[in-house]
């Protein structure tokens, strides 16, 4: 898998999406075809997110551990890896140290 180094021809709203008191911060990236991604940073901590549509989380830098809702095992992810989250579901993501950088793609 190859994570893109940049996106061209996009619109980026200037207002950040701030979650968990600044523990997770992202910016939306809007594409000409109507699709949307978010680019973000996760600070050390444990956070739970709910999903509406299915999502793919690509890890750009750093590491994290993820437990999908309804599952007991957790998986570790690092740079150039990804995980998929079903729609109408959720996941818990934990960053032990440093920053985890990600691209979130909405698959539906």
- Which CATH number characterizes residue 99's domain? 2.60.120.10
Structure confidence at residue 3 (pLDDT): 85
Question: Does residue 1 lie in a domain region?
Answer: no
Report helix, strand or coil for 21: helix
What is the distance between the alpha carbons of residues 75 and 67, in angstroms, rounded to a whole number?
Answer: 7
Question: Does residue 4 lie in a domain region?
Answer: no
Question: Does residue 2 lie in a domain region?
Answer: no
pLDDT tens per residue, the chain (108 residues)? 678 889 999 999 999 999 999 999 999 999 999 999 999 999 999 999 999 999 999 999 999 999 999 998 999 999 999 999 999 999 999 999 999 999 999 987
| Number of domains composing the chain | 1
Question: Does residue 64 lie in a domain region?
Answer: yes
Question: Does residue 59 lie in a domain region?
Answer: yes
Q: How far is CA 66 from CA 11, 22, 38, 104, in A?
A: 30, 19, 18, 14
Domain that holds residue 51: 10-106
Structure confidence at residue 1 (pLDDT): 62
For 69-104, the DSSP string reads TT----EEE-TTEEEEE-SS-EEEEEE-SS-EEEEE
Using left for φ > 0, alpha for ψ between -120 and 50, and beta otherwise, residue 78 falls in: beta
Question: Does residue 3 lie in a domain region?
Answer: no
Structure confidence at residue 7 (pLDDT): 92
Q: What is the DSSP letter of 16?
A: P
CB atoms within 10 A of CB 59: 22
Structure confidence at residue 107 (pLDDT): 87
Q: What is the CA radius of gyration of the chain?
A: 13
């Amino acid at each position: 898998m190859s994570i893109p180094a940049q996106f061209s021809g996009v619109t980026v709203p200037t207002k950040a999406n701030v979650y968990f008191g600044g523990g997770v911060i992202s910016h939306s990236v809007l594409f000409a075809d109507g699709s949307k991604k978010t680019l973000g940073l996760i600070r050390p901590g444990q956070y739970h997110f709910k999903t509406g549509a299915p999502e793919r989380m690509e890890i750009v830098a750093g590491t994290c551990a993820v437990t999908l809702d309804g599952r007991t095992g957790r998986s570790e992810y690092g740079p150039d890896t990804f995980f998929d989250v079903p729609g109408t579901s959720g996941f818990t993501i934990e960053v032990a140290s440093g920053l985890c950088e990600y691209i979130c793609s909405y698959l539906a």
